[in-house]
């Protein structure tokens, strides 16, 4: 399964004298728009957002907002989920190419064939997938509610879990349930080096290792705490520790540092000497593109109504089964 990495072209149609922070605030008022941002966005984007959250928090915000326009600073599946929940609202995404390696690795036709091979299995699918895959699923989950959702399924019900094998393995370990796993992985979370992590732990003996469940199991074995991006942030805030080695996309460190200015956050190093711990899809969005998509009201995420209604059901089941 291959993933084509996106590049990040510069937006060049903006008067350089404009203060983009002020302009975005003005457009928000003018359009009655809300800006929702994931923690993996550039710090500038996080700073203009009305709400910053993990996938579940963002889906909930999208379901509850009274704004007319949702400007989604995240990746395509997140904006698509907002549109599925809000068919009458305009949903803007600064760069339509902001995809996700997990979604790419689970094409709907192959997922449908997988389901047909296992007709007795309930399909619990990670939200990091296309609307077409959601429409073929029974229940959607995110990294913050996957364990709680699987625990609500009767124990004699066989389950298949897609597309992230690492989150799937983590859920199996937490619930003791057997699940058939789709073999997908996140290109960012599979990049961390165990050797370099061990070296960092030696250099920072007091640091807590905190990790997203999309990481490979050998990395998760080193973690003092495993959770979704929101859970990692809350853990860092509540912990007595002064330093943390962070095994997830480095964008979250902006909020961690803001919430805990006296604590130290060390991004876990990737295998290669690259910025591979930044998601190339998330980072396609820039402040410039955010401004342009609001000014021009494009690009917009749209969806066929029949597909939307099919994809809505498993998302609604997720929201009903998610603890607050």
Binding site for ligand SF4 (CB under 6 A): 75, 100-102, 128, 186-188, 214, 249, 279, 281-282
Q: Are 76 and 301 in contact (CB under 8 A)?
A: yes
Q: How far is the CB of 55 from ligand 13P (least distance, A)?
A: 4
The CA distance from 180 to 190, in Å, is: 20
Q: Which two tokens stand for residue 319?
A: 């929201």
- Can you tell me which of 41, 55, 101, 125 binds ligand 13P, judged by CB under 6 A? 55
d(CA 130, CA 265): 33
Which residue, 101 or 125, is less far from ligand SF4 as judged by CB?
101
How far is 248 from 232, CA to CA, in rounded Å?
9
d(C-alpha 141, C-alpha 122), whole Å: 13
CB of 13 to ligand 13P, least distance (A): 29
Q: Which does 229 bind (CB under 5 to 8 A by kind): ligand SF4, ligand 13P, none?
A: ligand 13P
The option from ligand 13P, ligand SF4, none interacting with 135 (CB < 5 to 8 A, set by class) reads none
CA atoms within 13 A on the CB side of 237: 11
Cβ contact 214:166 at 8 Å = yes
**Residue 144, phi then psi, degrees to nearest 5:** -90, -15
Give bridge partners of residue 164 from the DSSP assignment: 184
Q: How far is the CB of 126 from ligand 13P (least distance, A)?
A: 9
Partner touching 125 among ligand 13P, ligand SF4, none, CB below 5 to 8 Å by kind: none
Nearer to ligand 13P, 232 or 245 (CB): 232
For ligand SF4, the closer CB: 28 or 38? 38
> Per-residue DSSP letters for 86-121?
-TTSEEE-S-TT---HHHHTS-HHHHHHHHHH-TTS
Q: For residues 317 and 242, what is the distance between their CA atoms, to the nearest angstrom? A: 39
Q: Is 229 in the site for ligand 13P (CB under 6 A)?
A: yes
Residues 19-38 that bind ligand 13P (CB under 6 A): none
Q: Considering beta carbons, is residue 90 or 229 the nearer one to ligand 13P?
A: 229
> Which CB atom, from 23 or from 190, has the smaller least distance to ligand 13P?
190
Among 3, 142, 191, 277, binds ligand 13P (CB under 6 A): 142
Is 80 one of the binding residues for ligand 13P (CB under 6 A)?
A: no
Name the site residues for ligand 13P (rule: CB under 6 A). Answer: 54-55, 128, 142-144, 186, 212, 214, 228-229
């Amino acid at each position: 399964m291959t993933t084509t990495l996106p590049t990040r072209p510069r937006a060049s149609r903006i008067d350089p004298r404009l203060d983009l922070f002020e302009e975005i605030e003005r457009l928000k008022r003018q359009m009655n728009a809300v800006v929702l941002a994931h923690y993996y966005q550039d710090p500038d984007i996080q700073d203009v957002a009305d709400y910053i959250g993990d996938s579940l928090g963002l889906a909930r915000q999208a379901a509850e907002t009274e704004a007319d326009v949702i400007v989604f600073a995240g990746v395509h599946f997140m904006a698509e989920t907002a549109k599925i929940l809000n068919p009458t609202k305009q949903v803007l995404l600064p760069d339509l190419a902001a995809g996700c390696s997990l979604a790419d690795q689970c094409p709907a036709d192959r997922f449908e064939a997988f389901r047909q091979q296992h007709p007795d299995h309930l399909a619990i699918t990670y939200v990091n997938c296309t609307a077409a895959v959601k429409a073929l699923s029974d229940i959607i989950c995110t990294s913050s509610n996957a364990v709680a959702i699987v625990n609500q399924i009767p124990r004699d019900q066989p389950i298949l879990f897609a597309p992230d094998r690492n989150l799937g393995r983590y859920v199996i370990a937490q619930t003791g349930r057997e699940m058939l796993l789709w073999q997908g992985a996140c290109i960012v979370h599979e990049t961390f080096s165990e050797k370099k992590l061990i070296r960092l732990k030696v250099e920072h003996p007091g640091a807590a290792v905190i990790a997203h469940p999309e990481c490979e199991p050998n990395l998760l074995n080193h973690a003092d705490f495993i959770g979704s991006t929101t859970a990692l942030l809350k853990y860092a805030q509540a912990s007595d520790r002064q330093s943390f080695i962070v095994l997830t996309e480095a964008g979250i460190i902006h909020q961690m540092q803001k919430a805990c200015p006296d604590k130290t956050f060390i991004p876990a190093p990737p295998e290669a000497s690259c910025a591979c711990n930044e998601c190339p899809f998330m980072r396609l969005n820039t402040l410039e593109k955010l401004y342009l998509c609001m000014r021009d009201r494009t690009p917009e995420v749209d969806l066929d109504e029949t597909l939307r209604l099919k994809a809505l059901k498993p998302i609604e089941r997720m929201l009903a089964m998610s603890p607050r």
